Structure 1
């Protein structure tokens, strides 16, 4: 599978003569700054992803986790090539995705910090019986098997199937809870003050 970072082209069936393929460029992409500006105004839920690497456990904070299917239970997320944890997570067979709320802000910050040992405080984490590192006390976590990897620009997109989960702080349907979101380069807590309308 080719990298999506190269100039994309596609075959237009209407131009196909049967003898040769005609290709057409999709045009110039947005600049990196324009693209970042676009998504700064689009809040994302916060998660910490862990895996066991060759040299021990690794972790990083991600705002790209999204559910894509309930049956089978699949989620996706992306890993930046700039993170030192990316190679271990990208090559792991199984991972743990910690879905955080505002009570887990310290863990979100830890996973986002550079140049620190995220596992130095042994009271903060343990291992599942299957070996994956698990941070304690989070709102919810899910152990997943990695089922697909795709290189996309400077990132690796991972698809994973949920195998096991636990929820410590559940939220009633329609209630805001204490969700933690990352928006416009800052952490935010959702609550009653941010609840503006029920789902239609």
Structure 2
């Protein structure tokens, strides 16, 4: 091109769908908590158990808020509530494991969501302790992390975990949480 300025026109397509109607009872001041919870139930997520250990005490919780952050350095994020029983141990330990569940581990959801407390949770599922962290060998993937950073937001922290080691199973059969219930994922036909 010569030194002359050029302009590009970008065509913006018309909306493919009509705009969303406001929820019943919407006052225009933003979404209410019930609408938010319903929308998040529509967002499927892989089910993981995040576990930590400090001074010989193990703690763990079910999480669907685990997300990849970046590959260099390998890292992930997980949201953890300040009131969750494992939060103080995680802050003291500074290390945790993310154990991505398979469809065969559906029974662990209730156990790590409040049906059992503390160490009793780890009596189920075949847990090991490696390098002083709870590890679920039968998980489809286990990522051992150290807390690299955290962002407090509302009643939660977004924890950045720098991945120290990874163990992957040969086959993937992820357990998915959607609309308040466990589901199995399946590949769509080509």
TM-score, normalised to structure 2, is 0.76
SS in 1 for 2:40: helix
Please provide the CA RMSD for this pair.
2.1
Contact 2:101 2:139 in 1 (8 A): yes
Describe the SS at the equivalent of 2:170. coil
2:79 is paired with a residue whose SS is strand
| Conservation of the 8 A alpha-carbon contact between 1:90 and 1:156 | no
CA contact (8 A) 1:104 1:139 kept: no
Shift of the alpha carbon at 1:54? 4.4
Q: Which has the larger Rg?
A: 2
Residue 188 to residue 38, structure 1, CA distance change in 2 (3 Å): same
Match in the other structure for 2:186: 191
In the TM superposition, what is the alpha-carbon distance from 1:196 to its structure 2 partner? 5.2
* 2: CA distance, partners of 1:87 / 1:33: 29
Aligned residues of 1:181 and 1:189 also touching (Cα < 8 A) = yes
* Residue number in structure 1 paired with 2:67: 66
> What residue ranges of structure 2 are gaps of 5+ in the alignment?
1-27
Q: Verify: 1:93 aligned to 2:94, yes or no.
A: yes
Q: In 1, Cα distance between the equivalents of 2:43 and 2:135? A: 28
Measured after TM superposition, the shift of residue 50 of structure 1 is 0.6
Please list every run of 5 or more consecutive structure 1 residues that lacks an aligned counterpart in the other structure. Answer: 1-26, 172-177
What TM-score, normalized by structure 1, do the two folds share?
0.72
Deviation at 1:33, TM superposition (A): 1.4
Q: Which runs of 4+ in 1 moved over 3 A?
A: none
Matched position secondary structure for 1:164: strand
Contact 1:144 1:161 in 2 (8 A): yes
Question: How many Å apart are 1:90 and its aligned residue?
Answer: 3.8
Please name the residue that 2:25 is paired with: none
C-alpha change, 1:196 and 1:152, in structure 2 (3 Å) is: farther
2:22 corresponds to which residue?
none
